[in-house]
Amino acid sequence: MADMGAFREAVIAWAAGGPGDRAREMAARLPVRAAVLLEGPSDVAAVGALAASRGRNLAAEGVCVLSMGGAMSVGRFARLLGPCGLGLRLTGLCDEAERGYYARGLERTNAAQPSTPQLNAAQLNAAQPHAAQPDPAQRRIFVCAVDLEDELIRALGVTRVEELIRAEGDLRALQTFLRQPAQRGRTSQQQLRRFLGTKKGRKIHYGRVLAEALDPDRIPAPLDGLLTSL
């Protein structure tokens, strides 16, 4: 949906310090109901590809998938898009190392809503008498163990990822990369993950390629949880 792309651009410009009038006008005109806050464009590519593989068009569903340019921006985007701003439902996918930024950013704006059915006190105590309740700000945050590329490589397996790299015409580049002294001692999975980040645009390209190659029963839990929640 072209209008959703324009809305996304308007929001990013607003978050960068520009005027918010265009984003507000478009939010009122379009059927925008939710925003997915992602760290970078490779995450956007993977989420979009996986959604399409499930027959879903997130833009047509009123979901704006945003690349914030880094996890440290989540608080700014949450203020603009959440209850204190445009009133959209917010969720996000992040690396384990960035969990704190997401939790604090969403908590400060009361942007997070429970992603699990609510139980009354008696039901809750009976089900989990000694369990501490999770912070609501963390229930809409889907966390990758290391990062999204690592999740995709583990789900597909090293052999399958190498086959995809060959099919995309990057096998020679991979072989050259693997001969570098810095790669000695790293696991094949670690080497592949680093390879994907060695050239501008490669992470974005392979975010889509790897996501499209996933079998339905091998979807990484954070990605599956994110899409199921939307």
Instruction: Give the pLDDT score at 117.
Output: 34
**Minimal CA–CA distance to 227: which of 71, 82, 43, 18?**
43
Contact status, residue 7 vs residue 64, Cβ threshold 8 Å:
yes
How many Å apart are CA 146 and CA 95, to the nearest integer?
Answer: 6
Q: What is the mean pLDDT of the chain?
A: 88
Q: What are the helix (H) ranges across 54-179?
A: 74-81, 99-108, 121-127, 148-156, 158-167, 171-178
Per-residue pLDDT, 1? 55
pLDDT tens for each residue of 47-67:
999 999 999 999 999 999 999
Q: Model confidence over 16-33: pLDDT tens digits?
A: 999 999 999 999 999 899
pLDDT band at 132 (very low <50, low <70, confident <90, very high): very low
- With a cut of 80, say whether residue 6 has pLDDT above it: yes
Range 125-144 average pLDDT: 56
CA angle 35, 19, 61 (to 5 degrees): 20
pLDDT of residue 187: 96
- Please say if the pLDDT value at position 221 is more than 60: yes
Q: What does the pLDDT read at residue 120?
A: 38
* Per-residue pLDDT at 191: 97
In angstroms, the CA 92 to CA 162 distance is: 29
User: Which of these, 57, 59, 67, lies nearest to 5 by C-alpha position?
Assistant: 59
69: left (phi over 0), alpha (psi -120 to 50) or beta: left
pLDDT tens sequence across 78-125: 999 999 899 999 999 999 999 999 999 998 876 544 343 333 333 333
pLDDT tens figures, 152-200:
999 999 999 999 999 999 999 999 999 999 999 999 999 999 999 998 8
Sheet holding 89-95, edge to edge: 63-67, 34-38, 89-95, 141-144
pLDDT interval class at 204 (50, 70, 90): very high
Handedness of CA 128, 225, 94, 39 (dihedral sign): negative
Percent of the residues in the chain that have a pLDDT greater than 70, as a whole number? 86
pLDDT of residue 127: 40
